[in-house]
Amino acid sequence: TTKCDKDILDTYNKVTEEYFANSSSLYSLGYQVKELIDTATNNIADLFSVKPNEIVYTSSATEANNMAIKGIIFYKNRDKRIITSSKIHSSIKETLKYMGTLGYDIYVLKNDSTGRIDLEDLKNNIESSCLVTIPLVSSEVGILENIEKSNSRCFLHIDATQAVGKISFSINDIDMLSLSAHKLFGIKNSGLLIKKEKVNLIPLIHGGMSTTIYRSGTADQASIACMAKTLRKSLENIDEKYEYVKNLKEDLIKFFSNYENILLNSLEHTSPYILNLSFLGIKIESFIHKMEEEEIYLSTKSACSNDKSLSDEVFSLFKDEDRAKTSF
């Protein structure tokens, strides 16, 4: 989670103060708010080369993930099988666990030798499924998946929370994409689901018409304006920022490679923005609190994951409990 950019915070305050009306109202103040929202939405659509009606505003990437999964599954009579990865965020993991209680079959893909999803395994299982839901970049280890879209009628949902603003990628083959502003110096409680026009969903929240038919409720024009500015700023000079962070990560890996009890968990095909290490033989929480004294802040797992000591993501890749218990 990043500190909110002052410029974005100023925009939030300005819009909240000056554009306070309901965008669905018929009087002039409402029209002004609707115009502001439409401008922001058009700007976001241009950034991703999608249509404005393919933008659905949410309170978070967690809500966007829930909307994508439940919305697809509950729409009419679709296949009752969902394909996923062993490296998913808890907002997908817990949603799929709930879908399992309703009789849906959840298939977890194998990993190949690099830790990415096994594309052969995906090809062998995709025809009997209605949805593939995976992260483009995994939260803890930072594995960057190689996305290939087949001609299957199965939909592809990508959790891009750790990728947008950090990794250059194409959205052409992606049916739905989730993201969150608070990873990008934006405000909290501000997320987005890009849903291609051909994709039909059942809404999570029913009510009147808002910015789309897919999520009811009075539109939050301040968050929407800030989302547009957040995404524009995060996508500026993305390749230059990528190279800068990549060099930092390479320096860290070189430094830590001098210690035999330190294992590198972020191998090839990983985002430079995430480095996962295991410090064998130490109490990881004590180490993290010691680093806080130096104003260096580390995580043992994704902040939203459950409180057990073992990292599911590291264990899924290396099948080593000691490694998974001492990772950060």
Q: How far are the Cα atoms of 62, 191, 295, 322 from residue 304, in angstroms, in the given order?
A: 10, 16, 22, 22
Global pTM value: 0.93
CB atoms within 10 A of CB 6: 9
Residue 152 has pLDDT above 80, yes or no: no
pLDDT at 307: 56
- How high does pLDDT run on average in the chain? 93
Instruction: Report, as an integer, the average pLDDT of 138-153.
Output: 85
Joined together, the tokens standing for residue 123 give 């090809």
Distance between CA atoms of 16 and 37, rounded to whole angstroms?
A: 13
Answer yes or no: 304 catalytic.
yes
Q: How far are the Cα atoms of 86, 101, 147, 154, 165 from residue 125, in angstroms, in the given order?
A: 15, 21, 16, 10, 32
- 272 with 324: CB under 8 angstroms? no
171-181 tens-digit pLDDT: 999 999 999 99
Strand-pairing partners, residue 133, are 84, 157
Distance between CA atoms of 35 and 31, rounded to whole angstroms?
A: 6
245-275 tens-digit pLDDT: 999 999 999 999 999 999 999 988 999 999 9
pLDDT at 299: 87
The separation between CA 284 and the C-alpha centre of its own chain, rounded to angstroms, equals: 26
Q: How far are the Cα atoms of 161, 220, 225, 324 from residue 176, in angstroms, in the given order?
A: 13, 22, 22, 31
Among 4, 130, 226, 304, the one annotated catalytic: 304
Joined together, the tokens standing for residue 10 give 């100023």
Distance between CA atoms of 273 and 129, rounded to whole angstroms?
A: 32
